Each structure stands twice: as C-alpha cells, then as structure tokens.
Amino acid sequence: MKPKVYFTKEITPESLIKIYEALGIKLPGKVGVKVSTGEQGAKGYLKAELIGPFVQKLNGTIIECNTAYPGARNTANDHIEIAKQHGFTSFADVDIMDAEGEIEIPVKNGKHLKYNLVGSHFDNYDSIVNLAHGKGHAMGGFGANLKNQSIGIASRNGKAYIHSCGKTKSPKLCWISKHEQIDFIESMAEAAKAVSDYLSEQGKPIIYITVMNALSVDCDCDKNQGDPVMGDLGIVASLDPVANDQAFIDMIWVSQDPGAEQLKERIDSRLGREILPYAESLGLGSCSYELVKI
C-alpha cells in the first residue's frame, strides 16, 4: 500500500493544525519540533505567526542544532539570540540540542557515513515533528524533510561529517574536503535514515510536514537568501519522509508558474532529486504515494 501524503493549498495556522490532525497520530510525551530558525538576514524561514499555534497545541519545544559554517548560529548563545529575533521564543522554549555536546548514533548499510552525530538533547524527546520549509538550497539542490532530518538534527560536528561525506568532523576542514556531489546527496539520506532508525528502535514516533511557501532557490541558512521565484504551493504532511519530499518535488515539476524553471534548475544542477531514490533504497520511505487533498 502506498503511503498517504496529505495536501492543502491553504497556508494558515488553522490549515497547519488541520493537516497534522489528518495524519491521525498521537504524539506522546515531550514533543520536539525540528524547524530551521533561519540565518540572520534570511527571509523565508517559517514565521512565528504561522507555526506558533500548532507548536503550542502540541506543547512542543523548538529543537535545533548549531551550524557548521561561520555565522550567527554556530554557538548556542548566538543561536538562541537569532531564534529570539525571529520570534520563536515568543511561543515556545527553544532547545539548541548540541549546546552540551553530541551523541553518536549508528548508520546502517551506509556507503559514506559510519555513524551520525546528533545533539545530545535529542534523547530528551519522546516524539518528533519534522516541520520543514520547502525551498531550494545552494548545496543540496532543495531542502525539505530529508534535509531537515539529516543536516538539521546533526550537531555542529555532525553537519561537518555529513558535508564531508564521512571524511572529517571538523567544521573548519569539512569545506575543503574533496568529494563528488552525489556523495553529499547520498550522505544526507544516510544521516536521515539513521535518525529514523534511532527513533523507531525506541518506539518514538516522528511525523513529517513541509510548508511550501516563500519558494526561493536559496535556503533559510543563507543570510543573503533571494526572494521567492514562484508562488506558494501549500502544505504536505505524511508519516513517510521520502513520499513527502517527492510530493513537494512533483508539485514543482508540474507547476505552470514560470518561476518554477529557476527552482528546477537549482535542484537538478545540484543533483537534488537523487536523494529520493537513494533514500528509498535505504528503506527510509517510498517515492510512490497517494495524494489526499484536504
């Protein structure tokens, strides 16, 4: 049976709650909501007024990890300050999960990564919401649930390890590490699968939601993030991260918006779509899905 991907064109606080409820899953205990807090100067990150009511409904905590690149979010204190400036502390606690270190979790059957490094506070949560902003990305082609689960949940050193395709944990050295682009794309999939496996083995649920608005070719981690190149698409939600990302990609590819061509070029020039079949081959999810409009 194909996994269901729920879809609404409406992007409002109410529709975000409604699409979560369509998943029909109860999130127990302490809920961590993984969302990008956005680099200083970025414009496209998910705004407090949109996601705040949903996070409060879950009594959720915003969870993040520090960046591997130099910027305003590569230390916990600075990261919290940006989260405050961007409105996240106005509706929830914000936990920089690698503020007190990291934990190593296994990668099974990886070609590139031997393990994954995630913020040590990740263990404090009983259930996870992977709440992604769909957009382009300068290195990965696009960012949605798979990127949010790999680079996003990785600690600062873990991000370096993924970016270097398993060659170094050093945030200074990872940017000069030599590798093929496809190796980086596949490394992200391996890290995302490691997180999924780790949660599954502990009986901790995770759900996937992507808000497809402010569709720039640049990521929210880019302080010089460009303006949107096409109109908003809506929100997708699933229990399957591969299906949810595939639905996002499919909506770009069938769009009649002239600006979609810019996003397609960004995605394919970085081999972005290759993460989907590779993640499927790892058993992380399915590229086939049933779209359910709500």
Domain CATH for 103: 3.40.50
pLDDT tens for 165-213 read: 999 999 999 999 999 999 999 999 999 999 999 999 999 999 999 999 9
Q: Which helix (H) or strand (E) is 233 found in, with range?
A: none
pLDDT recorded at residue 192: 99
Q: Where are the beta strands (DSSP E) in 98-223?
A: 102-106, 115-119, 127-133, 135-137, 141-143, 206-212
Query: 224 pLDDT band (50/70/90 cuts)?
Result: confident
- Sign of the dihedral defined by the CA atoms of residues 22, 25, 28, 31, in that order: negative
- The pLDDT assigned to 5 comes to 99
Is 124 a residue whose pLDDT tops 90? yes
pLDDT band at residue 223, thresholds of 50, 70 and 90?
confident
Q: How many domains does the chain have?
A: 1
pLDDT reading at 222 higher than 90? no
Q: Provide the pairing of β-strand 4-8 with 31-34.
A: unpaired
Check if the beta carbon of residue 71 is closer than 8 Å to that of residue 156: no
Residues 193, 279: contact at Cβ < 8 Å?
A: yes
Share of the chain above pLDDT 90, in %: 97
Rounded to the nearest integer, the mean pLDDT of the chain is 97
Split at pLDDT 50, 70, 90, the class of 7 is very high
Q: How far is CA 66 from CA 36, 37, 73, 118, in A?
A: 11, 10, 6, 10
Say if CB 241 and CB 284 are below 8 A apart. yes
For the cut 90, the answer to whether the pLDDT of residue 63 exceeds it is yes
Span 265-273, mean pLDDT? 98
pLDDT of residue 147: 98
Q: Which domain holds residue 79?
A: 4-293
What sign has the CA pseudo-torsion 180, 185, 190, 192? Answer: positive
Confidence at residue 71, expressed as pLDDT on a 0 to 100 scale? 86
Whether the per-residue pLDDT at 227 is higher than 90: the answer is yes
From CA 262, how far away is CA 259, in angstroms rounded?
A: 6
Whether 265 shows a pLDDT value over 90: the answer reads yes
